[in-house]
Amino acid sequence: MNITVQGVTFSYRSTPSLANVSLTLEGSEILGLIGPNGSGKTTLLKCMNKILEPKQGAILLDKRDVKKMSRLEVAKHIGYVPQTSVSNPTAIPVFEVVLMGRRPHIGWQSSEHDIAKVWDALKMLDIEHLAMRDFYELSGGEQQRALIARSIAQEAKVLLLDEPTSNLDIKHQLEVMNLTRKLVTKENIAAAVAIHDLNLAFRYCDKIVMLKAGKVFAAGKASAVLSPEILRSVYGVEVVVNQTNNIPYIIPIAPLQ
């Protein structure tokens, strides 16, 4: 399944957030959305998921205009994984969190088929043992796995992840990104990932869209977009790009004066 963003413009009241943004995301690929704070990454994901409605432009899901689809229809195809949740006084088991992914298909009554889908998703994410744990007592990495499992149970073919590695330690960052790559490859899922860590974007994303002040500054393969010249222009820092074990990485040197 493909998703296409065509000239999307969005404002929060009178404050512009996105201006004429266009991109294409196809199955079996990871698209990285990068850019400084306030560049519009989260807003773009929410427009793609119909949480927000663009002022101008269109979001097409396999040539269908998302604006003309119901929220239920959108939820059958697009899974949204927000940033790591914080604690909540209301306890909810992980199993119930993942079962929420079945809502677009079943309403409020679940069948044996739906229960099986939940267990399949928990198994795929290797969190079966957490099924009866309180979601809000889990670590950040475990919460991310549960939220991704919810999207798998949802049978989504487009996965939108908002800062999936924020507040995670190095091990859990790699686990979440390795898991995303595995799902994209094995299940033919299209994934868009808003991410701050440029080295993770370099390593895992098939292509990159660089946003600056709500506009697309650069787009293409990571090796082209994550160049010292572009990073200098967008982030205002001098960097060098090196490589170890065939893995490229960016070293920040100093902010521009």
- The runs of H, that is alpha helices, within 86-227 are 94-99, 103-106, 112-124, 140-153, 170-187, 198-204, 222-225
DSSP calls for 164-177: TTTT--HHHHHHHH
**CB 241 within 8 Å of CB 224:** no
**CB 17 within 8 Å of CB 11:** yes
DSSP calls for 102-127: GHHHHTT---HHHHHHHHHHHHHTT-
* Beta-bridge partners for 251: 240
206 and 245 fall within a common domain: yes
Tokens of 77: 């195809």
- Tell me the CB-side half-sphere exposure of residue 72, using CA atoms within 13 A: 6
Average pLDDT over residues 125-131: 93
One-letter amino acid of 178: N
Residue after which a domain boundary falls, among 119, 154, 189: 154
144 and 161 fall within a common domain: no
The count of domains in the chain is 2
Three-class secondary structure of residue 227 per DSSP: coil
CATH of the domain at 7: 3.40.50.300
One-letter amino acid of 193: V
Worst-scoring range by mean pLDDT, 38-42, 137-141, 156-160, 210-214? Answer: 137-141
Tokens of 58: 């269109």
* Other CB atoms within 10 A of residue 1 CB: 15
CA distance 249 to 103: 41
142 and 173 fall within a common domain: no
- Strand 190-194 versus strand 207-212 pairing type: unpaired
Q: Could you tell me the pLDDT band of residue 6, with boundaries at 50, 70 and 90?
A: very high
Q: Could you tell me the pLDDT band of residue 125, with boundaries at 50, 70 and 90?
A: confident
End-to-end CA, the chain: 45
* Beta-bridge partners for 9: 56
- Between 217 and 106, the more confident residue is 217
174 and 60 fall within a common domain: yes
Residue 11 has pLDDT above 70, yes or no: yes
127 and 192 fall within a common domain: no
Length of the chain: 257
Q: pLDDT of 18-55, one tens digit each?
A: 999 999 999 999 999 999 999 999 999 999 999 999 98
135 and 231 fall within a common domain: no
The residue range of the domain holding 114 is: 85-154
Q: Could you tell me the pLDDT band of residue 130, with boundaries at 50, 70 and 90?
A: very high
226 and 168 fall within a common domain: yes
Worst-scoring range by mean pLDDT, 47-61, 62-76, 79-93, 106-120? Answer: 79-93
Q: pLDDT of 181-190, one tens digit each?
A: 998 999 899 9
Backbone angles phi, psi at 232, to 5 degrees: -65, -40
149 and 161 fall within a common domain: no
- Taking the model in full, what pTM does it have? 0.91
Residue after which a domain boundary falls, among 133, 154, 175: 154
Three-class secondary structure of residue 192 per DSSP: strand
89 and 208 fall within a common domain: no
CA distance 143 to 149: 10
Tokens of 212: 């600056």
162 and 236 fall within a common domain: yes
Residue 84 has pLDDT above 70, yes or no: no
147 and 165 fall within a common domain: no
167 and 248 fall within a common domain: yes
Residue 86 has pLDDT above 70, yes or no: no
Residue after which a domain boundary falls, among 97, 127, 154: 154
